[in-house]
A and B are shown apart, each in its own frame.
Chain A
């Protein structure tokens, strides 16, 4: 009998190998259809009307002129906002649907909304603007520890609001057909997408809402719920009796569809001459728009510093709302902590690697980080290249190394999966999961094919529909653990059901069988075998379908999945001190994530993270005009992402030895994006000899720091 337990490393045929992503070719060829590409017969285009004021009372909304424009088929307005306040520029107040995108745009311009402007607050740099009672944390005796410390190192650091900038914007196509609502959203949560708000908007109960998301162009934590755009497009589709496409334009995507909170901090570190960390005091502030909080995981990873004090102050601003951004709070906490620690090493005139090797002893995974730090150092050529802070060589281009460590949870989510074996030998797995571009489809196919002893092509993976068994949303790096386990369980049960049919014909007990290389065979007498095709023919006319259910707590106890990873990253940068231009020579990422299903897509996750990390370290920043509250760079011209030429050489090393493998599966979507900002900022400091305290490390900021430090 087949058991669900993960096969031993030497028995695996697909799991852990480097396997191309299943949907690579259709994506490369442009055949994969994203929500944006869905065009339904008779479809209308919707455009939004938004507040031009950062704060105002909404007095009235008049859609009559827009509604009477030729080609306009439906309008929507938010009467519940009348007499109330709009709280940021871009807040949606109305919408129109029309025959073409252009008509819709023009009609949206004819909606008359009247406002009474009110004073707004858009500044996130000044902690005194916080109106809340600060959150505090206190361990040990900080004052005493500082009094005894050999050195006290103080610094101020900051990481601004950035956006998700999903290349496919938020939105959906909605269509009411035969009492059913069909939606094609760009979402990270297919199974739970059809919530009460779109049900209310369309008048269709959840059991008649059909969600379909086969491909999506990035969510990064911002695409769990239908959003107001989901609600509005459903309402417009109902009103018009025609399908409606509502996808955000780039400016709104950047302004209102989520962003990562800022975090600024004053940090004081106390340490002994030998690098022993004794105290850390932090005042941190920042904004998440009107809601949310402030990143508070400081000290980050090195969290066993005995004496710690933290004060966190949230600043409410009239700006677009924050949304979870890949590893919420961690990149900020990491950048703030690691910057302060590297500054401490510099103050002690200590080699940074030696310092961090010591510092990670104050973490929950001292051994993992120590090993990873050594591997990363080898990969980047640390010994050959390292110098104390400030590149001593002449010339205007200074080179430096920096490092950072990070952690994440990543325990698999609840997931249900049906695996069907058909009499013709074909196999399919169905689950209401989604592939955000991560390789989820590929991973499920690998697990099912491995379990059934079949080649990858033999299994068909059906995901992206809420009609399939419920599977968790893709957040918290939980998908790979969830879907691998549920599909493993389902495939194992289905295989055992097939064994039960085949065993009598082969003259053995079912538990004497295994599936391997396209055959079902007797484990201790492999010549006694039957081809997969013939075995399935024995099913007659009936398929076998089995449901696998991942209950995270149980699977974790049984070793299928786990949580808690460690990663180390190092950056090698060059900085032209006459122009302030910082460039990446190389990034090295060393990452553990337990047992790996597909080494290639796992590495790709890390490469992607590094690219995203270079972007927020060097270029990305949502720039707000304080006087108007407007985001000034809500475009992809001045909202800069990194291009291929900007990212330097990227090296990824996954920890794959048996000890890591034995832990079971752990998610990887988030951890590798946590460290790049810190590692790059530390490398720049190491190169130029002074700290550039605020990300992104643009020429203006680098030059200001160089001038302040008397370097130029």
Chain B
């Protein structure tokens, strides 16, 4: 595994990304059969971010205009 990959894997999602599992699981988000699959933006308190696009763990990443690390 080279450094680039490691860097990619530990990329932090936007600090405003929320999902309910964060509120009671040790590491925030387990991707299992019990997760809700629902995300929201802690900035807008909507299921979409300040740019109007949906929130999600694949969506709220570096490069998006409203992303904040």
Instruction: Show the binding face of A for B, using Cβ within 8 Å.
Output: 80, 84-85, 87, 91, 188-189, 192, 195-197, 221, 224-228, 230-231, 288-293, 297, 316, 321-324, 328-329, 408-409, 413-414, 472-476, 478-479, 482, 551-553
Q: Contact: B48 with A290, CB < 8 Å?
A: yes
User: How many angstroms from the CA of A293 to the CA of B44 in the assembled complex?
Assistant: 20
Taking a contact as CB atoms closer than 8 A, the residue among A189, A231, A482, A552 that contacts B45 in the complex is: A231
B residues near A (Cβ < 8 Å) are 15, 18, 20-26, 32-40, 42-48, 50, 52, 54-56
Known: A91-B46, A225-B18, A297-B33. A290 touches B23 (CB 8 A): no
A197 to B26: give the CA distance in the assembly, Å. Answer: 22
Q: In the complex, A91 Cα to B42 Cα: how many Å?
A: 15
How far does the alpha carbon of A497 sit from the alpha carbon of B2 in the complex, in Å? 51
Q: Which residue of B lies closest to A670 (CB)?
A: B34
Evaluate contact between A80 and B37: CB separation under 8 angstroms. no
Contact of B24 among A288, A291, A316, A478 (CB under 8 A): A478
Q: How far is the CB of A134 from chain B (nearest CB, A)?
A: 15
Contacting residues, chain A, for B23 (C-beta < 8 A): 188-189, 192, 224, 472-473, 475
- A197 vs B50: C-alpha distance when bound (angstroms): 14
Contacts of B15 in A (CB 8 A): 196
Additional pairs, 9, CB under 8 Å, beyond known A221-B36, A413-B26: A84-B52, A196-B42, A228-B45, A288-B38, A321-B40, A322-B38, A328-B35, A475-B24, A476-B24
Q: Indicate if the CB atoms of A328 and B45 lie closer than 8 Å.
A: no
Contacts of B32 in A (CB 8 A): 409
CA distance A414 to B26 in the complex (A): 6
Nearest chain A CB to B52 CB, angstrom units: 5
User: CA–CA, A84 to B65, complex, Å?
Assistant: 14
Residues B46 and A224 in contact, CB atoms below 8 Å apart: no
| Nearest B residue (CB) for A91 | B46
Complex contact A292–B21 (CB within 8 A): no
- 9 residue pairs bridging A and B, Cβ less than 8 Å apart: A85-B52, A197-B45, A221-B20, A221-B36, A475-B20, A475-B23, A476-B34, A479-B24, A552-B26
A473, closest chain B residue (CB): B23
| CB-defined contacts of B44 to chain A, threshold 8 Å | 80, 228
Find chain A residues with CB under 8 A from B22 CB. Answer: 192
CB atoms of B42 and A225 under 8 A apart: yes
Q: Looking at the assembled complex, report how far the CB atom of B26 sits from the nearest CB atom of chain A, in whole angstroms.
A: 6
Q: Which residues of B contact A408 (CB under 8 A)?
A: 34
Q: Are B45 and A291 in touch, CB under 8 angstroms?
A: no
Contact partner of A328 (CB less than 8 A), chosen from B18, B26, B36, B46, is: B36
Per the bound structure, the CA–CA distance linking A322 and B48 in Å amounts to 12
Closest Cβ–Cβ distance, residue B60 to chain A (whole Å): 11
Given contacts A321-B40, A409-B34, contact A291 B25 (CB under 8 A): no
A291 touches B34 (CB 8 A): no
CB distance from B8 to the nearest CB of A (A): 22
Determine how close the nearest CB of chain A comes to the CB of B62; give it in whole angstroms. Answer: 19
- Give chain A residues whose Cβ lies under 8 Å from the Cβ of B38: 288, 291-293, 322-324, 328
Give the Cβ gap from B39 to chain A, nearest Cβ, in Å. Answer: 6
B48 x A553 contact (CB < 8 A): no
- With A192-B23, A292-B38, A473-B23 already in contact, the answer to whether A197 and B47 are too (CB < 8 A) is no
Are A474 and B24 CB-contacts (below 8 A) given A195-B42, A225-B40, A324-B38? yes
> Bound state CA distance, A455 and B20, in angstroms?
36
CA of A321 to CA of B44, assembled, Å: 13
Q: Which residues of B contact A329 (CB under 8 A)?
A: 36-37
Contact residue among B26, B34, B47, B56 (Cβ-Cβ distance under 8 Å from A321): B47
Check if B48 sits within 8 Å of A197, measured CB to CB: no
